[in-house]
Structure 1
Amino acid sequence: MDATFWAFVGLVLFLAAMAWIKIPAKIGKSLDDRADAIRKELDEARKLREEAQSLLSEYQRKRHEAEGEAEAIIAEATHEAERLTVETNQALEDMIARRSKAAEDKIAQAETQAIAEVRASAADIATAAAEQILTAKVKDKVADDILSKSIAQVKEKLN
């Protein structure tokens, strides 16, 4: 008997002991358990992926909605700014027109007042001149009456 024979006998005894202890069944059960655990992990990963995909699509939808709202807000703000610009320009034009009208009214009033002052001054000068002329040419009581009436008439007509 040589060493090869004893190695063969040892191998047979080892395999018989493994079969008797049911090692192949335990290895198979262990592999089955491992396959089940991997299957569960894959199912869990698939569920997580689906949830992540769902969250991603929801966030993308919300982002699109937010972008739409932002664009609407920007458009509204632009429209409001344009409207306010038009209103402000119109108000400025109205204010300029009112101030121009007020300035023209003041100028017209000043002209009217200046004309009235010139007329009054002219009337006073004419009255004084008429008084001097009449006092130099007409004398006595008749002259005084005529002079008084004339002065009164000139004052009434000039004012």
Structure 2
Amino acid sequence: MANAPEVFATEAGAAYTEIDAGAAKHIEPTLMGLAPYQWVSIAMLVLLLIAFFGAKVHKTIAGGLDSRIAAIREQLDEAKKLRAEAEALRDEYAAKIADAQKDAEAMLANARTEAGAVLQRAEEDSAEMVARRQRMAEDKIAAAERDSIEDVRNRAARAATAASRKLISEKHDAARDRELADEIISGL
């Protein structure tokens, strides 16, 4: 009997093991003729009946679910509106960017045109300034030539006057001066 199964029981008839031709047969304990899983099922059924009919939990649950559904619908509607607004803003900014690019291209073309005009005007002004300075230089040169010619004439006249004085003083004396003065007076 070394291999005999052991059976522990706290109450008589609560649990026992029968040996039937060498194989052990397990018997579950029962209470009022019902197995434990049947008691759990009955307890759950009673709890659910009390919850649904007695406390009207189903209305609370349904109301909670309905309010949650409504809140989710509102959030979805708000999300749709926000998406529509975002798409409108995106389209608006895309249009603004396109307009800004067109404006930038127009400004660039205008700046190039103005730069070309300024460059041409500067070239014309510099050519005119060079011509004006050339005329001024030519005028200064002509004035310098006139001044130098006049200076040469003045020097020549002074030199001639000095030479004539010297010659007159060497060749004419007081007697010759009287004769010359008499000739001039008689010629008048």
Tell me the TM-score range normalised by the shorter chain: 0.5 to 0.7
Give 1:50 deviation, angstroms: 0.8
Give the letter aligned to residue 15 of structure 1: L
The answer for the alignment partner of 2:41 in structure 1 is 8
The answer for the alignment partner of 2:111 in structure 1 is 77
The answer for the alignment partner of 1:67 in structure 2 is 101
Larger strand share, 1 or 2: 2
* Matched ranges for 1:1-159 at <5 A: 1-2=33-34, 3-21=36-54, 22-119=56-153, 122=156, 132=167, 141=179, 145=183
Give 1:95 deviation, angstroms: 1.6
Q: Deviations over 1:1-57 (max 9, x none)?
A: 233443333233223223313333433332232222111110111101111111222
Give 1:99 deviation, angstroms: 1.4
Q: Deviations over 1:116-159 (max 9, x none)?
A: 44455556666756x959x96xx78479748xx9xxxxxxxxxx
Give the letter aligned to residue 43 of structure 1: D
Distance 1:14 1:117, change over 3 A: closer
Structure 1, unaligned stretches of length 5 or more?
A: 150-159
Bigger drift between 98-107 and 66-75 goes to 66-75
Bigger drift between 18-27 and 116-125 goes to 116-125
Distance 1:57 1:63 in 2: 10
Give the letter aligned to residue 62 of structure 1: K
Q: How many residues align?
A: 145
- Percent identity over the alignment? 38
The answer for the alignment partner of 2:18 in structure 1 is none
Distance 2:158 2:42 in 1: 161
Higher RCO, 1 or 2 (CA under 8 Å, sep at least 6)? Answer: 1
DSSP-derived class of the 2:127 partner: helix
Distance 2:139 2:182 in 1: 45
Distance 1:100 1:144 in 2: 59
Could you tell me the TM-score, scaled by structure 2's length? 0.58
| Structure with greater Cα Rg | 2
